[in-house]
Amino acid sequence: MAVNVETLDKLERRITLTLSADAIKQEVDSRLKKLARTVKADGFRPGKVPMSVVAQRYGMSVQYEVLNDKLGEAFGQAATEAKLRVAGAPQISEKDGAPEGQLSFDATFEVYPEVQIGDLAAVEVERVTADVSEEAIDKTIDILRKQRRTFNQRPATEGAVDGDRATINFEGKIDGVPFDGGKAEGFQFLLGEGRMLEAFEKAVRGMKTGESKTFPLKFPDDYHGKDVAGKEADFLVTVTKLEAQVLPEVDEAFIKTLGIDAGTIEALRADIKKNLEREVKFRTAARNKSAALDALLKVAEFDVPKALVENELARLVEGARADLKARGVKDADKAPIPGEVFQPQAERRVRLGLAVGELVRSNNLQAQPDQLRAHIEELAQSYEQPAEVVRWYMSDRQRLAEVEAVVIEGNVADFVLSKAKVANKALGFDELMNAA
The residue out of 220, 246, 272 marking a domain boundary is 246
The chain-wide mean pLDDT, for the chain, equals 91
- Answer whether residue 56 shows pLDDT above 90: no
Asked whether residue 409 is assigned to any structural domain, the reply reads: yes
Residue 302 pLDDT: 93
Q: Which residues have a Cβ under 8 Å from the Cβ of 386 and sit 6 or more positions away? A: 377, 380
Asked whether residue 11 is assigned to any structural domain, the reply reads: yes
Average of per-residue pLDDT across 63-90: 92
pLDDT tens, 92-114?
A: 998 887 788 888 999 999 999 99
Same-domain check for residues 279 and 427: yes
pLDDT tens, 386-428?
A: 899 899 999 989 999 999 999 999 999 999 999 999 999 999 9
- Answer whether residue 160 shows pLDDT above 70: yes
Task: Confirm if 113 and 13 have CB atoms less than 8 A apart.
Answer: no
pTM, 2 dp: 0.76
Same-domain check for residues 236 and 292: no
Same-domain check for residues 319 and 390: yes
The CATH number of the domain holding residue 212 is 3.10.50.40
Question: CA–CA distance from 307 to each of 73, 314, 349, 350, 409 (Å)?
Answer: 20, 11, 13, 10, 23
Mode of pairing for the β-strands spanning 6-7 and 12-20: antiparallel
Asked whether residue 390 is assigned to any structural domain, the reply reads: yes
Tell me how far the alpha carbon of residue 131 is from its chain's centroid: 28
Residue 2 pLDDT: 61
Same-domain check for residues 392 and 291: yes
Asked whether residue 127 is assigned to any structural domain, the reply reads: no
Share of the chain above pLDDT 70, in %: 99
How far is residue 223's CA from residue 220's CA, in Å, rounded to a whole number?
5
- Answer whether residue 48 shows pLDDT above 90: no
Residue 166 pLDDT: 95
Same-domain check for residues 320 and 214: no
Confidence of residue 49 (pLDDT cuts 50, 70, 90): confident
Domain count, the chain: 3
Average of per-residue pLDDT across 67-79: 92
Asked whether residue 298 is assigned to any structural domain, the reply reads: yes
Residue 174 pLDDT: 93
Domain that holds residue 279: 261-434
Confidence of residue 240 (pLDDT cuts 50, 70, 90): very high
Average of per-residue pLDDT across 34-49: 79
Residue 320 pLDDT: 85
How far is residue 352's CA from residue 358's CA, in Å, rounded to a whole number?
10
pLDDT tens, 259-307?
A: 899 999 999 999 999 999 999 999 999 999 999 999 999 999 999 999 9
Same-domain check for residues 402 and 288: yes
Residue 225 pLDDT: 85
Same-domain check for residues 272 and 384: yes
Task: Confirm if 240 and 167 have CB atoms less than 8 A apart.
Answer: yes
The residue out of 66, 88, 112 marking a domain boundary is 112
- Answer whether residue 1 shows pLDDT above 70: no
Residue 436 pLDDT: 55
Asked whether residue 254 is assigned to any structural domain, the reply reads: no
pLDDT tens, 199-231?
A: 999 999 999 999 999 999 999 999 988 889 999
